[in-house]
């Protein structure tokens, strides 16, 4: 009879294993921790074959097992030799948050039960317990665990999707800003090109005729000087001398050369400005070519002379040796312009300096624009590259400069970083490559950061 029962138990156990295996359901792993083998056995027996059991007789043994296996559930006694079940509970809560714990004890003390549940146990059972209550508690603990895991996964998925949406939105905003700025620059470019074209001819006359004028004046001066030595009747000499006095003859003759030299210098400057406007207005130039960064910076500085030639801002060129780089040069000029205008505006009407440092290292070149201006408020630092973000009054800033610069640098496979301290100043550092990477191996991770860059020293 007994043999028959044992056999039928064995058969049903094998059948249930096979059913689970056939259904491809992995049985949940349950760790039973109790110093009494009798209790451990009675627990596994009471819970049947639906679970995969592992037993430990001490908490240290349980720690060891937890390190190598992920258990869905730990059922632990409280009072055991060595560490107690409460210590095991603490460790599981802290290190294995995906594992549930049911505490089992022979001591019926409500306070202890409450403490265990407060610490994070799913439930507390008092020995001896009803097998059905145990089975139900275990089922509920496992259901609760899988709900928690699903909820966490769901939350993580939502967060990831949210981040993706935020990135997409930023990208769209940047594109929108780029379109706006491109149009703005295109119309400025057209205007500049128009002015340059109109000025070009008159400046040509001025400049070209100055040499002729200078030659004519020196010939005329020679003729006048010749007449000075001619004997004139006394009344004519008298009239000539008072006429000379009236017009400041001596000063006029001696100043003529320097007046003409000043005119020539002025005409040269106008000619340079026209040349600059022409270079600058080639914004639609989509040609990728070897670009001399220093030349671009100098041409931008000439356009920005109203900021830097007043004397209030000291402009320091700390230029190193730079190779030419492959770039869209007119677009890079836009970056230098935005950074230099921001720097000048940050210094404002206070006395201060703007330093442009350039260096090359390996296949990279670095351009840093530093100012001793107001610095950036850490509260807004994370937004300065956002399109339309500005702290400047209406009319002074549209908040597009940095976002456009970011886009241009990204198109060149480079990075832009900023370091700032309020009241001390700001440094923007642009890193560019000597050769433009192919579109799909461009550094797509390039991103802006507000942190000190230690990789190089300028
Ligand atoms: N060198 C700097 N020092 C201090 N703050 C700066 C500096 N550069 C940028 N910022 C801050 O970043 C903001 C965004 O700069 P960005 O160049 O994008 O726009 P803007 O200068 O305000 O306007 P726009 O460039 O379109 O005329 C500025 O309003 C300013 O608050
Ligand atoms: Mg700006």
Residue ranges per domain, the chain? 2-129, 285-458
- Neighbouring residues of the ion ligand 2, judged by CB less than 5 Å: 342, 401
**Domain 2-129: what homologous superfamily?**
Response regulator (3.40.50.2300)
Q: Is the pLDDT of residue 7 over 70?
A: no
CA distance 291 to 254: 47
Closest by CA to 430, choosing from 405, 454, 450, is: 405
CA of 237 to the centre of ligand 1 (A): 70
Q: Name the closest-CA residue to atom 21, ligand 1.
A: 397
CA–centroid distance, residue 157 to ligand 2 (Å): 37
Of all atoms in ligand 1, which is nearest to the CA of residue 369? 1
pTM for the model stands at 0.49
What is the CA(345)–ligand 1 centre distance, in A? 8
Residue 448, ligand 1, Cβ within 6 A? no
pLDDT value for 37: 94
pLDDT tens readout for residues 155-187: 999 999 999 999 899 888 877 877 776 676 667
Sign of CA dihedral 79, 82, 87, 89: negative
The HSE-up count of residue 182 (CA atoms within 13 Å, CB side) is 11
Better-scored residue on pLDDT, 110 or 77: 77
C-alpha to C-alpha distance for 113 and 110, rounded to whole angstroms: 5
Fold exhibited by the domain 285-458: Heat Shock Protein 90 (3.30.565)
Contacts of 324 (CB under 8 A, 6+ apart): 290, 291, 292, 293
Q: What digits encode the pLDDT tens for the residues 295-321?
A: 999 988 988 888 888 788 999 999 999
Q: Are 178 and 407 in contact (CB under 8 A)?
A: yes
Q: Which ligand is nearest to the CA of 386?
A: 1
Measured over all CA atoms, what is the biggest interatomic distance in the chain, rounded to whole angstroms? 165
């Amino acid at each position: 009879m007994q043999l028959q029962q044992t056999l039928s138990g064995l058969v049903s156990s094998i059948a249930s294993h096979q059913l689970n295996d056939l259904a491809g359901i992995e049985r949940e792993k349950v760790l039973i921790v109790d110093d009494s083998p009798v209790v451990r056995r009675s627990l596994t027996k009471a819970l049947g074959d639906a679970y995969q059991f592992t037993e430990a007789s001490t908490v240290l043994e349980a720690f060891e097992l937890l390190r190598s296996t992920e258990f869905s559930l730990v059922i632990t006694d409280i009072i055991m030799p060595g560490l107690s079940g409460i210590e095991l509970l603490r460790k599981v809560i802290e290190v294995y948050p995906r594992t549930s714990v049911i505490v089992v004890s022979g001591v019926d003390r409500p306070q202890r039960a409450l403490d265990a549940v407060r610490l994070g146990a799913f439930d507390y059972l008092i020995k001896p317990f009803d097998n059905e209550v145990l089975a139900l508690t275990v089922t509920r603990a496992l259901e609760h665990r899988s709900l928690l895991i699903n909820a966490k996964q769901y939350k993580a998925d939502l967060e990831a999707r949210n981040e993706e949406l935020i990135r997409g939105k930023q990208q769209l905003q940047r594109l929108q800003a780029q379109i706006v700025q491109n149009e703005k620059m295109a119309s400025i470019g057209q205007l500049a090109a128009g002015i340059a074209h109109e000025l070009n001819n008159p400046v040509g006359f001025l400049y070209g005729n100055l040499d002729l004028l200078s030659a004519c004046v020196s010939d005329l001066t020679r003729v006048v000087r010749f007449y000075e030595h001619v004997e004139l009747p006394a009344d004519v000499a008298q009239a000539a001398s008072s006429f000379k006095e009236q017009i400041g003859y001596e000063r006029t003759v001696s100043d003529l050369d320097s007046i003409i030299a000043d005119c020539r210098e002025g005409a040269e400057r106008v000619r340079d400005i026209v040349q600059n406007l022409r270079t600058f207005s080639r914004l639609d130039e989509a040609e990728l070519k070897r670009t001399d960064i220093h030349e671009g910076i100098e041409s931008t500085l000439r356009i920005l002379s109203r900021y830097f030639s007043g004397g209030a801002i000291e402009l320091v060129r700390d230029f190193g040796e730079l190779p030419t780089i492959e770039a869209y040069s007119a677009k890079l000029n836009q970056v230098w312009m935005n950074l230099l205008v921001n720097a000048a505006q940050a210094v404002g009407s206070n006395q201060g300096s703007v330093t442009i440092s350039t260096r090359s290292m390996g296949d990279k070149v670095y351009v840093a624009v530093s100012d001793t201006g107001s610095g950036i408020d850490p509260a807004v630092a994370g937004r300065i590259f956002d399109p339309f973000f500005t702290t400047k009054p209406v009319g002074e800033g549209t908040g597009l400069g940095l976002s456009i610069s970011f886009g241009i640098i990204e198109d060149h496979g480079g990075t832009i970083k900023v370091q700032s301290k309020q009241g001390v100043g700001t440094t923007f550092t642009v890193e560019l490559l000597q050769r433009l990477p192919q579109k799909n191996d461009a550094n797509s991770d390039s991103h802006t950061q507000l942190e000190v860059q230690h990789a190089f020293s300028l």
